[in-house]
Amino acid sequence: MATYFSDYANLCFEAFGDRVKHWVTFSDPRTVAEKGYETGHHAPGLKLRGTGLYKAAHHIIKAHAQAWHAYNSTWRSRQQGLVGISLNCDWGEPVDMSNPKDIEAAERYLQFCLGWFANPIYAGDYPQVMKDRIGRKSAEQGLDTPRLPVFSLQEKSYIKGTSDFLGLGHFTTRYITERNYPSRQGPSYQTDRDLVELVDPNWPDLGSKWLFSVPWGFRRLLNFAQTQYGNPPIYVTENGASQKLHCTQLCDEWRIQYLKGYVNEMLKAIKDGANIKGYTSWSLLDKFEWERGYSDRYGFYYVDFNKRNKPRYPKASVEYYKKLIAANGFPNPREVESWYLKALEICSINNQMLAAEPLLSYMQIMTEIVVPTVCTLCILIAAVLLMLLLRSLS
C-alpha cells in the first residue's frame, strides 16, 4: 500500500506541482486508523481491537515517508514546494496538577494521540511510552510479540525528517486522569492508554457532542508541538465549530466567539515562540463530515443540500472572519466589537432573505407556469376573434 500511495503522490506532483506548493500527505491519520480499524465507525469498518489500528498507522507512516522522499528526490528542485502531514489532536490537561499520575496520564494521552505519528517523523520511532505500555500489555495477554509494529533500523532512518512542516488540527480539550485497565479485558487502544477523558460542565457546549470551546488548550498544544519536535514550521490545518442547532441559522454568534478565542490563543503561542506559518479555519462551506454526513455543519457558508443547485448563504462568521483576515489579528477591542455588530446586522438581513426564499421560489414557479399559460390563452383568444371577424366579413 505504501508503494501504491507513492505512485499516486508522484502522479499528483507531476500533474499539479507547478501550481501546488504545499502538500499534505495524510489528513488526520489517527482517526483513519482508530475509527477504520479499531471501532469500525469509518470505512473499511473493521473492529480489530488493539491490533488493526496500529498496523494501519504503521503503513500510513511508511506511505507518508515514501511520498516525501519521492518529492524530495524528483520534484523539489524544479517545483520548490513543501510536503508535510496533518495531525489532529485535542489538548490533554491533568485533572490534578499536584498528582504525578495525572500528569503522566496527560502526557501519555498526547503521545498516544500526536506522538504516535509525529514521533516517528521527527525522532525516528514511536514514543517510548507507547512501546513500553503496549509491549507490557501484549506480554500480559500471552502474545509473543508486541501488538505495536516495529520499525527496522533502516526504516527509522528513512522515516526520520520526512516533513517540511507540521500540520496541526485542533478543536477542543479534555481533562485527563489515570485509570488502570486490567490486561485481561483484552487488547484495545483505550485500555493501552490507561486513562480517562473528562470535560468541564462549565465549558461552552457547541453543536457536536464531543466539541467544547476551550481556547487555552490550543495555545498549550501549539507550545507542546513546538518544544517536543524541535520548533517545526506549523500550519494549523483545522480549527472550527459546528452548528449549534439542527436548523438553518445564519447568525452563528457561537462560531464568532470560538474564532475570537482560539485565534487569540494562537497569537499568544506565536509570541511564546511557536513557529506558526499559517491558519486554516474549518471550514469554508457546510460539507460531508465523516460518518456524520451532512448533519454536522462547520461552514462559514450555509449550504442548502435539499436543492438541486445547492445554494450557499453567508453566515455572520463570514463577515467577522473577513475582517479578522484583513487585519491579520485583533487591532483593538472597539474595532473588534464593531466587526461583531456588523456581522450580526448582515446575518439578520440574510436570515430574512433565506426565510423568504420559499415564497420567492413559489412565485418563480408560478411565474414560470402562469405567464406562458396566459400568453398562450391570449394568442388563442386573438386567433378565435380573428376567425370570427374574417367570417363576419365574408
Residue 362 has pLDDT above 60, yes or no: no
**Residue 309: what pLDDT?**
92
Q: Average pLDDT over the chain, rounded to whole?
A: 92
Q: What is the pLDDT of residues 23-76, one digit of tens each?
A: 999 999 999 999 999 999 999 999 999 999 999 999 999 999 999 999 999 999
Return all residues near 52 (Cβ < 8 A) that are at least 6 apart.
33, 36, 37, 38, 46
Q: Which of 320, 290, 318 is nearest to 303 (CA)?
A: 318
Q: Which of 111, 92, 112, 90 is nearest to 102 (CA)?
A: 92
- In this prediction, residues 261-289 reach a mean pLDDT of 96
Q: Which residue has the cell 485542533?
A: 170
Residue 383 has pLDDT above 90, yes or no: no
β partners of residue 177: 196
**Residue 95: what pLDDT?**
98
Q: Which of 165, 194, 162, 210 is nearest to 41 (CA)?
A: 210
Residues of the chain above pLDDT 70, percent: 94
**Residue 358: what pLDDT?**
63
Distance separating alpha carbons of residues 343 and 285, to the nearest angstrom: 17
- In this prediction, residues 338-362 reach a mean pLDDT of 76
- In this prediction, residues 170-179 reach a mean pLDDT of 97
Half-sphere exposure of 202 (CA within 13 A, CB side): 0
Asked if residues 251 and 320 have their Cβ atoms less than 8 Å apart, the reply is no
In degrees, to the nearest 5, what angle opens at C-alpha 201 toward C-alphas 185 and 30?
45
Distance separating alpha carbons of residues 317 and 252, to the nearest angstrom: 6
Helix/strand/coil percent split, the chain, to 5: 55, 15, 35
Q: Which of 318, 131, 185 is nearest to 240 (CA)?
A: 318
- In this prediction, residues 151-166 reach a mean pLDDT of 98
Residues of the chain above pLDDT 90, percent: 77
pTM for this entry: 0.89
Could you tell me which residue, 380 or 164, shows the higher pLDDT?
164
**How far is the CA of 111 from the CAs of 59, 60, 92, 140, 236, in angstroms?**
18, 17, 10, 22, 19
Q: What is the pLDDT of residues 2-34, one digit of tens each?
A: 999 999 999 999 999 999 999 999 999 999 999
- In this prediction, residues 160-185 reach a mean pLDDT of 96
Residue 245 has pLDDT above 70, yes or no: no
Distance separating alpha carbons of residues 212 and 174, to the nearest angstrom: 9
4, three cell numbers: 501504491
Q: Is 63 helix (H, G, I), strand (E, B) or coil?
A: helix
β partners of residue 91: 173
Residue 250 has pLDDT above 70, yes or no: yes
Distance separating alpha carbons of residues 24 and 27, to the nearest angstrom: 7
Could you tell me which residue, 330 or 387, shows the higher pLDDT?
330
- In this prediction, residues 277-295 reach a mean pLDDT of 90
Residue 369 has pLDDT above 90, yes or no: no
**Sheet of strand 276-279: strand arrangement:** 22-27, 82-88, 166-169, 234-238, 276-279
- In this prediction, residues 339-357 reach a mean pLDDT of 79
Confidence of residue 247 (pLDDT cuts 50, 70, 90): low
Mean pLDDT lowest among 108-112, 122-126, 181-185? 181-185
- In this prediction, residues 214-231 reach a mean pLDDT of 98
Could you tell me which residue, 357 or 352, shows the higher pLDDT?
352
Confidence of residue 209 (pLDDT cuts 50, 70, 90): confident
Residue 244 has pLDDT above 70, yes or no: no
